[in-house]
Structure 1
Amino acid sequence: MAPHTDDGTVTDARYERITAGPPEVSDAFLRDVLREGFGLDPVTLRPLAGETDRNTHVVDGAGAEYVLKVTGPAERRAAEFQTALLGHLAGQDLGFAVPEVVLDRSGAPSRDVDGLLVRLLTYVPGRPLAEVPRRSAELLADIGAVAGRLGAATGTFAAAEPPPAHYWEFAHAGTALGASLPHVGDPGLRAAAGLIQARYLPLLDERLGALPVAVVHHDLNAFNLLVRRDGSRTRVSGVIDFGDAAPAPRIADLAVLASSAMRGADRPLAVAAALTAAYHAACPLTEAEIDLLFPLIAVRSAAVAATTARLAAGRLHGDPRHRSSAAAGLVRTLADVPAEVGAAAVRQACGLPPHAATAAAAAWLAGHAGQATAPVAGRLGPLDLAITGDCYDGADPREPDELRAAAREAVLHHGDGTPVGRYGEPRFLVPARRGADVTLGIDLFAATDTPVLASLAGRVEAVGAAGTDLILLHEPAEGVRFRTLYTGLTTVPAPGTDVPAGGRLGEVAADARDGLPPRVRIQVTAVPVADGAATSWTAVPREAPGDEQELWRALFPDPTPLLGDQDAVTAWTPAGDGALAKRHRHLPNSHPTYFSRPITMVRARNCRFYDEHGRSYLDALNNVTLVGHSHPRLVEAAARQLGRLNTNTRFVYDVLSEYAERLTATLPDGLDVVYFVNSGSEANDLALRMSRYLTKREDVVIIDDAYHGYTSVVADVSPSRYRHYGKPDTTHPTPNPDRYRGRYGYDDPQAGAHYAAHVTETFDRLAAEGRAPAAFLFEALLAGGGQVVLPPGYLAPIFQTAARHGAMTIADEVQVGFGRLGEAFWGFETQDVVPDFVTMGKAMGNGFPVAAMVTTREISQAFDPAGRFFSTYGGNPVACAVGLELLNVVEEENLQDNALRTGQYLRDVLAALAPRHEIIGDVRGQGFYSGVEFVLDRETKEPASEETLIICERLKDRGALVYPTGPAWNILKLKPPLTFTPAHADEFAAALDAVLEEGW
C-alpha cells in the first residue's frame, strides 16, 4: 500500500506524476512561448483540463487551433514518450484524428523554457463522448472498432525508454485501491469496492503478467474520445490525451474504455459486450485477455470511484470529470454481477462459449435423459404460463394481479398430472417493455409434502440458510461436472451427503412464492454457486430479464432432461420464427410486415400490444382499433351476437336496421342510405362504380400521393399503386396540398384556395377536352400522402366546380372518420362540405371487418337499374353489433373530444423536441392523425428516409410502435387509438427524444 497523509495525498514517489499537479504559469508566459518559440500570435487562450500538464486551447489570428502543453519535470519522460508515439501514429491511416506535433521554429518537437517542457499539438475538434449520454448500438460498435484500430496501431510502436510508473496502471491497482478505500465515506460503495478488490485482485496478481504487452493509450475514457455528428449519425472523430501512454497489458485500453462507457448505462454488460465484440474484430484478443477483461473493468471502476473519494477528501487538484457519481453507481452494479456472468458476457461477444463447463454439462444431459429419475412420482404435464397460455384469456394484460390469479387457477385446475412450468418460458406475470422474465429452471407444482427425488446421483454440496434449498454436485463422466439446484424443499439432507439417483431429497415446502401454488424448482449449472461471495446460493437468479436471456441460459442450461425419459414436457420455444417461415412459404412476397425483425404479437389491450416474449409496446400507429384493443364491451358484443346469430343481409335482423340508423345519424341530412361491405377498398370501388354509372363518364380527379385501396378500380386511382404499372389515362392527379413541401406554405393564408385552383383547372381542362370527370375522390386528411392536413378553404371551391361540371364527390373516410380528427366526427366536415358519397372502414369495427358506403336515396335509386347489390358478409349481425357498440363507446367515453385535446397535446410535446433535434422538419396533423417529418437539412428539406426507418426500429426496441409513411417514407404516421392519453403522449415523446439523442 502506498503511504498517504491524513488528507488523502499519496506520498509514494512512484506516483509523483499524479500528485505533483500541472505547472502554474501565467498567460503572459504562454503568449511569449507561442510568439518566440512557434511564431504564433495567439488571439484567445482557454484553459483545458489536465491532471499533470498545463493544457491551453489556442486560437491564432488565422483561426487555426492548437493545444499548448506545459509539462513539469516529473512528467518530462512521459511527454517525450508521448511525442514519439504521436509521430508514429501520424504516418498511419487510422480513420480518425489524433493530435499532431507542431515543430517549433528550430524544427524541434518541444522546447525547454524555465525548466518546463513546452509542446504544441494540433487541436482535434469534436464533442467528448461523455457528453453523449445516449449511445446507439452503431455508435458503440464504432467506439469499440476505433479502440481496436488504435490498439493495433500503438501496439507496433517501440520506444527505448518508457515513461515512469503511473498511478492508474493495472499493475498498481492494489496500491491505488488500498490508498483510496479508507476515504470512501459511503458504506455501500466502500463495501462494493472492497468486494471487487477481494474478488479480482488475486486474479490480476496471478494472470496479468502473462498477458500480451504493447504500448497503449492507457486513458481511453469517454472524455478522450471525440465524436462528431454527420447528418443524423454520431461517430468517433478523434482520440486525444496520450499523456498516460505506456507499455502495459494490451487489454488495458479496452478495460479502461469499457469501465468509462458503462457508467450510467441501463445495461452495462450489454455495453461491455458491444465494445468487446467490435474491438476484437479490429484487434483480435487472446482467450486469456478475454477472460481477464471483466475483472479489469471491475477493478478500474472501483479504483476510479475510490480515487474520486480520496481526491474529494483531500480537496486535491484533479480533472473535474472524476467527480461524477456514475462511477460509484457502476461499482455497485459490478459488485452484484457474479464473476462468471461478467466473463460470460465478454466471451460470448467474442464468439467463445460463455462457460465451457456448463456447455459440456448441457450436452451430457441432453444425451442422457434416459438415465434420469423423475423428481416426483406420476405423470407430468406441461403448463403454459407464457403469454400464449389460455389461462390469461379474459385477464387484463396490464394488471399483474389478474395475471397472477389466472396463472394460479391454471395450476390448480391443470388436470394433466403434475403441472410442470417450462424452462426458458417468459412468464407473463408482470409485463415489461424488456420482455417478461425468462425461467432458468423447471417448476414442478406439486402438493405440499410431496416427496422429491434426486434425478441423478450426486453429493449435497450446500444447503440454503433456510434449509429449503440444496445443491447437488454431479460428476457423471470424465470432464463433466455440474450442479443441480433444488429450491422449495423441506427436510433436506446435510452437506456432504451422497444421494443416489432416485434418492429422497425432501418434500415440497408449503411456501407459495409469487402468489403461485407450492412448487419445487430445479436448475442446472456448472458455475460455482456456494463459495460464500456474491456468487453464493442466495444470488442465483430464478429468472433472467428477457433481453439478457441468451447469456443467462448459457450459464443455466435446460434441466428438462432431469424429468427422465418423457417427451410431454419440453423447453419453451418461440413460435415467431416458424410462423414467419410459413408466412413466407404461403403468402405472396409482396405482403409486407412491419419492421426488419417482425414482432410476433399475441395479445393487446387498449393502447398496448404484447408479443410472445411478454414485451409490451405502446401502440401509436393502429387506427384500426379506434377505441383501443380488445375493448371489453366490443368483445362481449361480438361474442354475444356470434352465439345468437350470424348470417347475411338477405335475412332481416334488428341489429342491421338499428346500426344503419345510428350510423347515418352521425352524417349530414340526406346521407341516409348505407351499402354494407367488408373493407374500405370495396367501399371506394363501389362509390366509383356508381359515379361512373350515373354520369356515364370514366375520368376521375384525385389528389396526388393519395391511397384508396387494393381492388383494380381503386388501385387505378391510387398513385402509390399505379406508379408500379403506369397511370391510367382516366386518372388525373392534382398537387398534394402539402404546406410544408408544396408551392404554397404555412405562411400563405390563401394556400387552400391556391391548391384548390389546380383542381378546378383540371376539371375545366377535362371538360374543354370533352371528357368531364365522373368524380372527385379525396381523403379528408392525406394518410399515405404524408399525414397532410387539407388547408382551410381547400374543398369548398372544388365542390362548387364539381357540381358545375356534373361530377360526383367521394369522401374517403376510411382512415380518418369516426371522430379521429377531433374537430368533427367526419373529416370532410372540417371543410364545411357535404359529399355525394362517404366511404368508411378500418376503425368502423375496431378490428372486426366491416365497412360501408353511404349516399343519398336519390343517388341510390338512380343506381338501382344496374342490378341488385349484395355483399355476403357485409353488414352481417356480428359486424353490426360491434359497429353499434363502437358508436356507443365513442360517445359515452367522450373519445372524439379526447382526440381533439390529446391529439394537440401530442403534437405540442413532439414539436417541443424540434429545437434539440435538427432532423425534425415538421410536425403536423389533426386530432389523432399526426405526422413528424424528418429531413437531413431543414433548408433543402432533403428527406431522411433511411433514418426514419431506423428511428421506427429503435422506437420499437424502446417499446413504442410507429411506422413511416409519405412518398419518401420519411414521415412518422401517428394514429393511435382514441383512448390514447397525455401520459401515453409523454411516453412516446420521451422514447423519440431518446432515440434521436442517441443517433445511429
Structure 2
Amino acid sequence: MAVQTEREGVDERFERITAGVPELSDERLRDVLRDRYGLEAVSLRRLAGETDQNTHVVDGSGTEYVLKISDPADLPAIEFQTALLAHLAERDAGLVVPRAVADLAGSPVTSVRDGERELPVRLLTWVPGTPLAEVGGRSAELLADVGAAAGRLAAATATFSHPAPPAPHYWEFPHAGTVLEASLGYVTDPGLRDAATTIRDRYAPLLTERLPELPTAVVHHDLNAFNVLVHRDGGRRRVSGVIDFGDALPTARIADLAVLASSVMRGAARPLTVAATLAAAYHEAHPLTEAELDLLFPLIAVRAATVAVTAARLDAERRHGDPRHRSAAAADLVRALAPVPAEVGRAAVRHACGLPAYPDAPAVTAWLAGNAASAVPPVDGPLVPIDLGASSEIFDDVDPRDPGALRAAATAALIGRRPGVAVGRYGEPRFLEPRRRRGAASADEPDNVHLGIDLFAGAGTLVRAPLPGLVEATDTAGVDLVLLHEPAEGVRFRTLYTGLNDAPAAGEAVAAGATIGRIAPGEGLPPHVRVQVAVTPLDGWTTVPAAATDSEQALWQGLLPDPTPLLGAQNTVTAWTPVIGRSLQGRRAHLPDSHPMYFEQPIAMARARDTRFYDEQGRSYLDALNNVTLVGHSHPRLVDVAARQLGRLNTNTRFVYDSLTEYAERLTATLPDGLDVVYFVNSGSEANDLALRMSRYLTKRDDVVIIDDAYHGYTSVVSDVSPSRYKHYGKPDTTHPTPVPDRYRGAYGYDDPDAGAKYARHVIDEFDRLTAAGRPPAAYLFEALLAGGGQVVLPPGYLAPIFAAAAERGVLTIADEVQVGFGRLGEAFWGFQTQGPDVVPDFVTMGKAMGNGFPMAALVTTREISRAFDPTGRFFSTYGGNPVACAVGLELLNIVDDEGLQHNALVVGQYLRDRLAGLGERHELIGDVRGQSFYSGVEFVLDRDTKEPASAETLIICERLKDQGVLVYPTGPYWNILKLKPPLTFTRADADDFTDTLDDILTTGW
C-alpha cells in the first residue's frame, strides 16, 4: 500500500509513531505492580517513549525495573519482542539487554483495563548505564566498542526467528522514500528541505533497486544513541547494554548499523570518520557483505533525513513523538551529508572495513604503475622534486608558528629554484599552515596531505595530455579540466588539472602529448598546475579536494591515487613517504633493545620552536615534557650565538678564552657564597659521578645515603645510587635509601605540619645507624624535587635538619640540580634554595637545561674541597666547558633574565596547578596534584581511598594526549604520574591548552 501525499497524512500501517502514548496514573501503576507482580513501588519516574508509557520503578529492596504499558494494537509486536528477549537471554552477546519479569501467574505479558481497552503490560529488568546520547565527548575507542557491540547484537538477533513477525512500521527503509515525500512539505527551513530532497532524490531509487538484494535478519531497528547504554570502567567508557526492542523486526540486516551511525554521527565534527569507525568495528564482530557496505552510506543519509523531516511534520501537526530526536544536530547532519558525494561516503566505510575505497581502484593504480613509460610529461623541462614538508631546509630560518612566514619561505624557494620544473610531491604533508591536531574527529586537524602533484612553471607554460583521452568536463568541482581515459578493458579513470587557462571543449578527444592548456597566473604560491587522478566519476562532487587530513588521507588516496607515473618513466620524482619506518628499522638494527622511546606509536620529529614540536607530518605538539629546553626550543638567540661561536672558535679548556671565565663568573654568581669552583663536564651523570668520587676521596668513606626512587644518572657509580637502575641488578651494599618524603603516599601527609622534620629524622637515623656500624656515610645525595620518584616536592623543613646533622657527622651533601635547577622552581634559582638559607650544599651538580639541549653540565663546589681533591691529579674533560658550550650557557642565563622566565615559571606554574586541581574536583581518577612552578605532577589512582595506582590508565592518557597534540609522559615508581616540566616560556594559553585537552580526555574516556 503506497504512502499518501504529505497533506493527507501517511498510510495507517505507519501511523503507529503518532498514535499516542497510553496514560495511566501513578496510583494505577502502583496497583498493577502490587496486584500483578507482588511489588510495592517506592519510586516511580516517567521515561521517554513514542508508543509506550514507560516508567522507572524501584521496589522496597532497591531493585529497579521498567514498567511498560502499550497500545492493544501492538500486542503481536509485543509477543515477538518478548520471544526475542528470551532468545537473547540464552545467548551471551557481551552486553546486557532487558529481561521480561513474569507476573504472579508466570506470564511475561499481562494486561490492565483502561476504559474499553485492555492495555498490554510488561515488566522488564532495568539495564543500568548512561545513554550514549548523553555522553558529550566520545573517544574513538568508545565508538569502536559501540560498533562492536552492535555487531555482536546483530549476530545474536540474526539467529532468531518467529512465526508471526510484526507488521511493517514507519521507520523501515523500504518505504523511506515515500515517507520523505509525505513529510518534506512540512520542513520550513529551506536549507534543510533542499538537503533532504537531495538525499531523497539521490538515494530513494537506489534503495528500491538494491535493498531486496541484501541479506535479511531480525534486527533491533531502533539502535540509536538513546538506546545504547555506556558505563565507566576506570577512565574507560564502554557499552554496558542495549534497551528498547520495540521496533525489532526482520529486514535488511545492515539496517541496525545505518540507524546507529545516523544517530551517533549527529554533532560530530567529522561525521564520516564516526561512520567509518562504527562500521569497521561492526564488520569485525559481524562481517558484512561488500554489497551491504556499498549501501550503508545511502542508508545512513536516508535515515538522517527521515528523522529530520519527521520531526518537522510532528511539530507542525502538534502530534506525539519522542522529542529527543528533534535536536538541531539531527538537521545539521542532513545538511552535512547532502553535499557528500555518494562515492565518498561509500569509500569511507569500504576503506574502514579493509576494502578498496572504490572497487576499480586497484586495477587503475596497477595500470598506472606499469605504464609510466607510455606517459608524456605534462610540461617541458627537467622535473625536480621540491620538499615543502616540515623537514625541508627551506623552513630552517622561519618561525613555524607563523603561516605567513612559512608561505613566504616556500614562495622564495620556488621562485629561486634551480633550472627545471619544481614538482610538489603527491602525499606530502605540506608545512605551510601547521595546526594542532585535536583528534582524528576534530575540525582542527589540518588538510595538508596533498592529493596530487604540483608542477611549478611560469604562467603561460604549455601543458600537455600525458595520455590519450576525452575531455569529459571543464570548470567543474573546482577543477579546470577533466580527461576521461580507458586505456585497457576494466581500467577507467580520469585525470584532473587545476590552474589551467585555455582548456579544450568538453567532448573533444585529445592525443597523448596534445596541448590541453597553459598554466594560469597563480595566487599565493607561484604559478603551477595541479595534476590528479580520480578513479571514480565526479557526478555530485561540488569540489575535488587538493589535500586531506592525516586521519583521512588513506581514504582520499583510495579515490585520488598517485598521479606520479603520469610524469613519465624518465622522471626522478617519487611520491612522498614518511621516514618513521626507516628510522625505527635503523634504531632496531643499531641501538640496544633496551633503549626507550616515547609512546606506542613513536613520533618522527622534524623541528621545534619555543613550546612546540613539529613532526614530519607537519603536526604541532605542545611540549609539556621537555625540561632540557629551558628557554624554549630553538631559541633564536641561542641558535645565533652557537652558530657564531662555532664559526669562530671551538676547542678545549686547556686553552685560554674569555667566554670560559665570563661564564664561570656568571654561573657561580647564582649560587651561595663559597660555591665558586666549577668543574665543567658534559652530562649530569658525569657531574654526579664526579661529586661522589670527590666525596669518597675526601672522607675516606664509601657509603652513600639517598632518597628512595631517586635517579642520578647512568654511569656505573651513579647507577649504583639510583634505585630505578640498581633494582634490575641488586642494590650495592654501600647505598642506603631513605623513605621518599611523599606527603600523598608516605607516612606523614599534607595535614602534618611536621612532615618535613619527621621525614628528615629517617635520614638522620640512617646516618647514625651507619656510624654505629662503623661505616659512617661519605655523602648524602638528593634531588631538590624528586623527579623519578614521582614529582615529589620536598616538604618544608626537610633539608635543614639533615644538613645540620650531616655537618656534625662529616657527611658531605650533594644537591642534584640536573632536572630542577636554573629557575625552574620559580621562587629560587636553585631547588635547594627553596628549603631555606641554612641549606647550602657542599656540591651542586647541574646539566640538562644548562645548555638548552646543547650537551653541557657542571659540578660546583668550594675552593677548599677542590684543593683537597687536587692530589688525585689534574682534572680535565675534553669537551666540558668548550667555547661553544660557554657561549650557549652564558646566553641562556641572559635570556632567563631578559625574558623574566623565572618569574614566569612561578606565576604560570601556579596557574597550571590551580587549573589541574580544578580538574581533580571533577575527575575521580586524579588523586593528587603537586609540584613547584614548572615541575609538577598529576597522580592518577583507581580509588582515592586505597590510592591504588592507575598505571595502565596513565599510559593510555599520555597516548591520547599525544594523539591530540600534547606531549607528556608517566613517571614514578608505579608509572601513574604525569610529569609536567615544560620550557620556562610556557604561557597561560599553553597551560589552558594542556588542561583543556586533559579535561576532554578524562571526560570522554578512552
Q: Distance in 2 between matches of 1:78 and 1:302?
A: 26
Deviation at 1:189, TM superposition (A): 2.2
Equivalent position amino acid for 2:88 in 1: L
Q: TM-score, normalised by structure 2?
A: 0.97
Q: 1:327 aligns with which of 307, 330, 349?
A: 330
Q: Is the 8 A contact 1:436 1:614 kept in 2?
A: no
Q: Residue 467 of structure 1: CA displacement?
A: 10
Aligned to 1:44: 43
CA distance in 2, matches of 1:253, 1:920: 38
Could you say what secondary structure the match of 2:858 adopts? strand
When structure 1 is superposed on structure 2, of 327-336 and 933-942 the one drifting more is 327-336
Aligned residue identity for 2:304: S
Which letter maps to 2:981?
K
Q: Give the secondary-structure state (helix, strand or coil) at the position aligned to 2:58.
A: strand
Partners of 1:468 and 1:491 within 8 A in 2: no
What RMSD, in angstroms, separates the aligned Cα atoms of the two structures? Answer: 1.4
Question: Are 2:785 and 1:776 equivalent residues in the alignment?
Answer: no
**Structure 1 match to 2:554:** 550
> Please, which moves more after superposition, 557-566 or 111-120?
111-120
**Pairing 1:311–2:310 present:** no
Aligned partners of 1:436 and 1:613 also within 8 Å: no
Query: In the alignment, what sits opposite 1:891?
Result: 897
Distance 2:23 2:885 in 1: 83
CA distance in 2, matches of 1:789, 1:567: 61
How do residues 645-684 of structure 1 correspond to structure 2 at under 5 angstroms? 645-684=649-688
Q: Is the 8 A contact 1:98 1:124 kept in 2?
A: yes
**What's the offset of the Cα at 1:248?**
1.1
Task: Indicate the residue corresponding to 1:394 in structure 2.
Answer: 397
Which residue in 1 is equivalent to 2:510? 499
- Name the CA distance, whole Å, in 1 between partners of 2:397 and 2:503: 40
SS in structure 2 at match of 1:913: helix
Which amino acid is the alignment partner of residue 288 of structure 1? A
Aligned to 2:532: 523
Give matches, 1:716-727, under 5 Å: 716-727=720-731
Name the amino acid aligned to 1:520.
V
| Partners of 1:148 and 1:278 within 8 A in 2 | yes
Deviation at 1:3, TM superposition (A): 4.4
Per-residue deviation at 1:301?
Answer: 1.2
Given that residues 427 and 436 in structure 1 are in contact (C-alpha distance below 8 angstroms), is that contact kept between their aligned partners in structure 2?
A: no
Deviations 1:8-45 (A, max 9, x none): x9453122211111112111211111111111121111
What is the Cα deviation at residue 231 of structure 1? 2.3
C-alpha separation in 2, matches of 1:144 and 1:466: 34
Counterparts of 1:60-99 in structure 2, within 5 Å, are 60-99=59-98
Contact 1:436 1:615 in 2 (8 A): no
- Give the 5 Å matches for 1:291-440: 291-432=294-435, 433=437, 434=445, 437-440=448-451
Alpha-carbon distance in structure 1 between the residues aligned to 2:637 and 2:479:
47
- Equivalent in the alignment of 2:472: 461
Find the aligned partners of 2:294 and 2:19 in 1 and give their Cα distance: 36
Confirm or deny that 1:927 pairs with 2:933: yes
Question: Could you list the per-position Cα deviations for residues 337-388 of structure 1 after superposition, in whole angstroms to 9, with x for gaps in the alignment?
Answer: 2211111111122221111222211110000000000111111111111111
- Pairwise CA distance, 1:185: 2.7
Write the distance in 1 (CA, Å) between the matches of 2:974 and 2:946: 14
1:695 matched residue in structure 2: 699
Identity across matched positions, percent: 72
Residue 310 (structure 1) shift: 2.5
Which stretch shows the higher mean deviation, 278-287 or 680-689? 278-287
- What pairs up with 1:220-231 in 2 under 5 angstroms? 220-231=223-234
Could you say what secondary structure the match of 1:431 adopts?
coil
**Structure-1 separation of matches of 2:169 and 2:457:** 61
Give the residue type in structure 1 aligned to 2:537.
P
1:558-957 alignment, distance < 5 Å: 558-832=562-836, 833-957=839-963
One of 146, 170, 187 as aligned partner of 1:143: 146
Deviations 1:308-349 (A, max 9, x none): 222233333222311222222222222232211111111122
Alpha-carbon separation, structure 2, partners of 1:193 and 1:652: 81
TM-superposed deviation, 1:729? 0.6
Does the CA-based 8 Å contact 1:472-1:483 persist in structure 2?
A: yes
Cα distance in 2 for residues equivalent to 1:623 and 1:305: 52
Match of 1:97, SS state, is coil
Distance 2:316 2:809 in 1: 87
TM-score, L = length of structure 1: 0.98
The letter for the 2-side match of 1:711 is T
Partner of 2:202: 199
The answer (yes or no) to whether the contact 2:6–2:183 under 8 Å persists in 1 is no
SS in 2 for 1:936: strand
Letter in 1 for 2:484: L
For structure 2, the 5+ residue unaligned runs are: 438-444
What amino acid sits opposite 1:643 in the alignment? G
- Output the amino acid matched with 1:900: L
User: Which residue identity does 2:526 align to in structure 1?
Assistant: P
SS for the counterpart of 1:381 is strand
Which amino acid counterpart does residue 71 of structure 1 have in structure 2?
S
- Cα distance, 1:49–1:977 mapped onto 2, change above 3 Å: same
Q: Report what 1:993 is aligned to.
A: 999
In 2: Cα distance, 1:429 partner to 1:448 partner: 22
Query: Which amino acid in structure 1 is aligned with residue 155 of structure 2?
Result: A
Measure, in 2, the Cα distance between the counterparts of 1:301 and 1:752: 63
8 Å contact 1:428–1:436 — kept in the other structure?
no
Residue correspondence of structure 1 range 258-269 to structure 2 within 5 A? 258-269=261-272
Q: Following TM superposition, by how much is the alpha carbon of 1:2 offset from its aligned partner in structure 2, in angstroms?
A: 4.2
Q: CA deviation at 1:190?
A: 2.2
Q: Does 1:508 align with 2:507?
A: no
CA contact (8 A) 2:483 2:495 kept: yes
Give 2:459's aligned residue. Answer: 448
Letter in 1 for 2:252: P
Contact 1:965/1:971, CA 8 A, preserved across alignment: yes
Which residue number corresponds to residue 972 of structure 2? 966
Residue number in structure 2 paired with 1:124: 127
* Distance in structure 2 (CA, Å) of the matches to 1:960 and 1:488: 38
Structure 1 position 278 matched with structure 2 position 284 = no
Structure 1 position 471 matched with structure 2 position 476: no
1:864–1:610 distance in 2 versus 1, CA, 3 Å: same
CA contact (8 A) 1:467 1:491 kept: no
Q: State the Cα deviation string for residues 260-306 of structure 1 (Å, max 9, x = none).
A: 11222233222212211221122111111111001111111111122
Q: Distance in 1 between matches of 2:289 and 2:6?
A: 41
Q: Is the 8 A contact 1:404 1:516 kept in 2?
A: yes
The SS at the match of 2:633 is: coil
Asked if structure 2 preserves the Cα contact closer than 8 Å seen for 1:177 and 1:303, the reply is yes
What is the match of residue 440 of structure 2? none
Equivalents in 1 of 2:761, 2:244: separation in Å?
A: 64
CA distance in 2, matches of 1:415, 1:141: 50
Deviates more, 1:607-616 or 1:353-362: 353-362
Quote the residue 1:100 is aligned against.
Answer: 99
- Once the two structures are superposed, residues 671-728 of structure 1 have per-residue CA deviations (whole angstroms, 9 ceiling, x without a partner) of 1111111000001111111111111111000000000000011000000000001101
Counterpart code for 2:561: P
Contact 2:785 2:792 in 1 (8 A): yes
Which ranges of structure 1 fall in alignment gaps of 5 or more residues? none
Give deviations 1:604-655, integer Å, cap 9, x for gaps: 0000000000000000000000010011111111111111111111111111
Q: Displacement of 1:96 after TM fit?
A: 1.4
Q: Distance in 2 between matches of 1:190 and 1:754?
A: 74
